[in-house]
């Protein structure tokens, strides 16, 4: 198994948390993982992306040249990384903020209305969790309950008040992806 993912968006959209959550979840499954973050100079509002590699074998480098999966939350990230996805790869775009013009030659492009879904749930800050649910549904990494358990552990007691909202966001992303993968 080898999965190389680039997750990108504005600083503050939760891409780093998403990357860490995926890495930790897969590490707990006994796989090798790397997580390589990159922040823009501004941090919140600037560009931010991370590379996450999951493999059944040791990983030589944390840097991804060609991604199996590209998750983009905003238009500048889409423009910057759309050429870095493999021809048989998957692109998940936040359709609320990204117009996938001149799409890459990928195996699948899934337009997830992550920001709109998060807003409908009550807080746009959970758009990253909507995308996490969609990403896990597309790649079928772990059962939903394992992903939710890992998320709950990552939040800890300090943030237990926002756990239900985030779990609902992951579920919404999973449901959206599942309904669009069967079409």
Residue 69 belongs to domain with CATH number? 3.40.920.10
CA dihedral 129, 134, 140, 141 (to 10 degrees): -20
Number of structural domains the chain divides into: 1
**Contact present, 71 and 56 (Cβ < 8 Å):** no
Q: What pLDDT was estimated at residue 103?
A: 78
Task: Give the neighbor-by-neighbor strand order of the sheet with 85-94.
Answer: 32-39, 47-55, 2-10, 67-72, 85-94, 108-112
Q: Could you list the residue range(s) of the whole structural domain that residue 15 is in?
A: 2-181
The pTM for the full model equals 0.91
Q: What pLDDT was estimated at residue 183?
A: 53
- How many degrees, rounded to 5, is the angle at CA 141 between CA 83 and CA 107? 30
How would you write the pLDDT of the chain (183 residues) with one tens digit per residue?
999 999 999 988 999 999 999 999 999 999 999 999 998 765 566 779 999 999 999 999 999 999 999 999 999 999 999 999 999 999 999 999 999 888 787 789 999 999 999 999 999 999 999 999 999 999 999 989 899 889 888 887 676 668 889 999 999 999 999 999 865
Task: Give the C-alpha separation, 48 to 9, whole Å.
Answer: 6
Q: What pLDDT was estimated at residue 43?
A: 55
């Amino acid at each position: 198994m080898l999965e190389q993912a680039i997750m990108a968006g504005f600083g503050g959209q939760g891409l780093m948390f998403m990357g860490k959550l995926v890495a930790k979840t897969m590490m707990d499954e006994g796989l090798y993982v790397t997580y390589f973050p990159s922040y823009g100079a501004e941090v919140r509002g600037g560009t931010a992306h991370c590379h996450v590699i999951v493999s059944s074998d040791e990983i030589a480098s944390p840097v991804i040249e060609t991604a199996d999966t590209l998750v983009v939350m905003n238009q500048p990230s889409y423009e910057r990384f759309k050429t870095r996805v493999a021809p048989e790869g998957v692109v998940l775009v936040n359709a609320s903020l990204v117009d996938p013009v001149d799409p890459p030659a990928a195996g699948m492009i899934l337009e997830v209305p992550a920001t709109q879904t998060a807003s409908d749930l009550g807080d746009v800050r959970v758009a990253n969790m909507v995308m996490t649910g969609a990403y896990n549904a597309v790649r079928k990494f772990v059962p939903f309950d394992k992903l939710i358990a890992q998320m709950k552990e990552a939040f800890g007691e300090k943030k237990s008040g926002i756990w239900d909202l985030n779990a609902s966001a992951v579920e919404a992303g999973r449901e959206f992806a599942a309904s669009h993968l069967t079409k």
